[in-house]
Amino acid sequence: MSSTTACDPIALLDERFRKAIGVALGDESVDADPIIKPSGNPQFGDFQANAAMSLAKSRGMNPRELAQKIATAVDLRGVAHPAEVAGPGFINVRLDLDALGAMLGSMDSANLGVPLLADRWGVTVDLCGVNVAKQMHVGHLRATIIGDCLARVFTRLGRVVHRENHLGDWGLPIAMTLAALRRAKVDLDRLTLEDLNVAYRRAQAEGRHDEAGLAAAIATHAGPHRVIELSIQNDDARASIDDAKRTLLKLQGGDEELRRDWQKLIDCTMKEVFHAARIMNVTLGPEHSRGESFFRDRLGGVVEAFLKAGLAKEDKGAIVVPFSDRERPLLIRKSDGGFLYATTDLAAVRFRVQELESNRVIYVVDARQRDHFKDVFDAAALIGWDRLPDGTQAHITHLGFGAVLGKDKRPLKTRSGENFTLMDLLDEAVERGTAEVTARAQDPNAPTHGLSAKELREIGQAVGIAAVKYADLSSEVTRDYVFDLDRMIAFEGDTGPYIQYAHARISSILAKSGVPISTIAAAPFRVAEPAERQLALTLLRYGTTVRDVADALEPSRLCSYLQTLANAFNAFYQACPVLKVEDSGVRLSRLRLCHLVRRTLADGLDLLGIVAPERM
């Protein structure tokens, strides 16, 4: 029995019932899924084996009679009481108390029952994805924290994880901004992100021509003033674009002075990105940032590879990859010889699968990019770039996330009606979290009473960021969700601060006990009361939950588990005295149960990228 199975009752029961099904129906049925599920009603047991109905139907048997044969054949010694058949063929199982205690003991180890996956290949997570010269917006919140959570989960499961922040740092838009800044003789050594953002918008406006408008003005005799105005606009736009193209060519040619200035734009942008990442408790640094510029020398090779393989063709001077099942082809080189996002993304797929050697590549990008990524991934499959060097098939997934909405169900805006920048949102969350924590600290009985303003600010930041991150991660990835900071910041209900508070409350209980952790950790588990049992069964689901998050790419499953665990602990604490129970053995057992819950909450919160404070 593996250490993971030893603390996973579902895996353990699955093993036993598979053998029993083989005995009842013959060796050819040993691979039949016994369908082990937690019981919906603790009165009937802890788990159910629900396979008898489907197995009986496929064999023309009476389901209850088959369930009885399986229940008689299953060997539950040392694990559970004898199985009982109920209803049309449910098999109820109640774990033995000693076995339950042993499972908790196995879980109470360094790995908390989380399985380590034996896989030599890596996992690449495409996250964040900012554009140079633009401020981070609310959409970057989701791309960053969902990607960070999944990277943490795969790392926790023992996989080698590559975080890839695919920067938009190359091409004409950046060249336009750089050219505009140089024309204005801006001191790039003192550049702020706001300066850069303004310059980006100005460069876009300066390069916007209106040839159609000019033609219409001439055709409708709109008057000389309008014609002159549009002519000047178009002349200026052409001059701006020409300057940007010359700048891009020099940049691509390796002009050292331009390259230094270009790097200053990147450094200015990334300074805020890394600052936001630190506030959000996200692991993201320069070592994870690999932009479009990294792939610039590979783009010609991408086009040549598709042409050589006979998978691309010329279409009015452009190069496209056609598909047999859709009308739209994938454009990989424009008629003027320029490359596109698709060309860069194909180079990135090839790099991530074949050079980083990842058999799982996850793109955490806005759901509106669905068609783009379908085309890119299908093209990569056509040419075989979705296979590792030994031929292993890589699974490449676009995890498209929904939008963050305001209370009016429209894109989130500030009170002044402006679009929320990410820093606006984070600043407000930290401010509200600090205000809530400071207000609670005024109570002389509060654990935080008497803490300094700096200490309260640190807890307030942890609470505010937990509110934002949990609200996002607890929503299904693909769905839009409503941003309501009033609800998110609450210490009660389905919120991040509620789970943090459960952790802090347990920390306080353990501290008040005065018992050394080494003594607590050595105490035997004695799980007798119903609330203790329910808490124990909830704890034992942790390892399976973490694995499920990785399989489904759905952080909300971990959020739901932590919420359930916090609720189970609160029910246990109400029903089972810990510090005031007279029996010292029971007291130590309950303290160990508290300690295991605290460790599990802290570990789960860490996988979400949420700090677990000791005091709140």
CB count, 10 Å around CB of 1? Answer: 9
On whether the 3-95 domain is CATH 3.40.50.300, my answer is no
Specify the pLDDT at position 414: 56
pTM of the prediction? 0.90
The CATH code belonging to domain 422-607 is 1.10.730.10
Chain centre to alpha carbon of residue 612:
18
Specify the pLDDT at position 227: 39
Q: Give tens-digit pLDDT for 496-508.
A: 999 999 999 999 9
For residue 229, pLDDT beyond 80: no
Q: Give tens-digit pLDDT for 261-309.
A: 999 999 999 999 999 999 999 999 999 999 999 999 999 999 999 999 9
For residue 156, pLDDT beyond 80: yes
Task: Tell me the torsion sign for CA atoms 356, 362, 363, 365.
Answer: negative
In single-letter form, the type of residue at position 611 comes to: V
For residue 24, pLDDT beyond 70: yes
Residue position matching structure tokens 């030893």: 6
User: Taking the domains of the chain in order of start, what are their residue ranges?
Assistant: 3-95, 422-607
Helix (H, G, I), strand (E, B) or coil at 200: helix
Minimum mean pLDDT range among 248-257, 344-353, 577-586: 248-257
Specify the pLDDT at position 217: 45
Mean pLDDT throughout 124-139?
Answer: 90
Minimum mean pLDDT range among 72-81, 96-105, 171-180: 171-180
Q: Give tens-digit pLDDT for 343-396.
A: 999 999 999 999 999 999 999 999 999 999 999 999 999 999 999 989 999 999
Q: Do domains 3-95 and 422-607 have the same CATH topology?
A: no
Whole-number percent of the chain with pLDDT over 90? 75
Mean pLDDT throughout 313-318?
Answer: 95
Specify the pLDDT at position 457: 97
Closest C-alpha among 412, 424, 594, 600 to residue 520: 594
| CA distance linking residue 130 with residue 132, whole number of Å | 6
Q: Is 583 exposed, middle or buried (0-12, 13-18, 19+ CB in 10 A)?
A: exposed
CB count, 10 Å around CB of 288? Answer: 17
Q: Give tens-digit pLDDT for 402-431.
A: 988 888 888 776 555 566 789 988 999 999
Specify the pLDDT at position 201: 81
